[in-house]
Amino acid sequence: MKTKQHIILLRGLPGAGKTSFAELIANNNSYPYYSVDDYFTDEKGNYKFEFSENHKAYAACLLNTEKALIDGFLKVIVHNTFTMDWELAPYFKLAKKFGTSLFVLTVENYHGEKNLHEVSQDQLKKMAEKYQVKLF
């Protein structure tokens, strides 16, 4: 009997700690974790966001997740803002396609850290206002 695979989606505003939590539950890199930010980060760790490339970043993140499932990883972690349902939808389809369980966890910034990408307070407020939560 095949062991069930899991997709874990970590969502939250920039600076909430999504990446830190992904690293924590990846069990010393035993499980892969992906983000849209990976697309904008070079091999030296330098981040340069380009809005015109954002659709490619979303596609690459989804493709990496699918490849990890094909490769047989039991747990695949994706850490993005996921503020709106359309951002989550492709992962729901992927979970259905592979018969995996899917968990959506919201990471909140109770620690008061600032985001690494210098997203302004105004932009964070706009993101928070459109943040969609499904409790039932």
Kindly state whether residue 136 falls inside one of the protein's structural domains.
Answer: no
> How many structural domains is the chain composed of?
1
CATH number where 123 lies: 3.40.50.300
Domain that holds residue 114: 6-83+90-130
1 within domain boundaries: no
Give the chain's length: 136
β-pair type (101-106, 33-34): unpaired
67, part of any domain: yes
Find the mean pLDDT for residues 91-106: 97
| pLDDT bucket at 131, cuts 50 / 70 / 90 | confident
Beta bridge partners, 79, equal 10
The reported pTM is 0.91
Quick check: is 114 in a domain? Answer: yes
- The answer to whether residue 79 is domain-embedded is yes
| Residue 135 belongs to some domain of the structure | no
Which is higher by pLDDT, 89 or 136?
A: 89
Q: How many CB atoms lie within 10 A of CB 124?
A: 16
Check residue 111 and give its pLDDT: 81
- What is the model's pLDDT at position 2? 67
> How high is the mean pLDDT of the chain?
92
Cα dihedral 20→24→25→29 (10° resolution): 100
Edge-first strand order for the sheet with 33-34 is 33-34, 75-79, 6-11, 101-106
Write out the H or E segment, with its range, that includes residue 70: helix 54-70
Residue 126 located in a structural domain = yes
The span from the CA of 99 to the CA of 1, in Å, is: 14
For residue 17, is it within any domain? yes
Helix (H) or strand (E) holding 86: helix 85-98
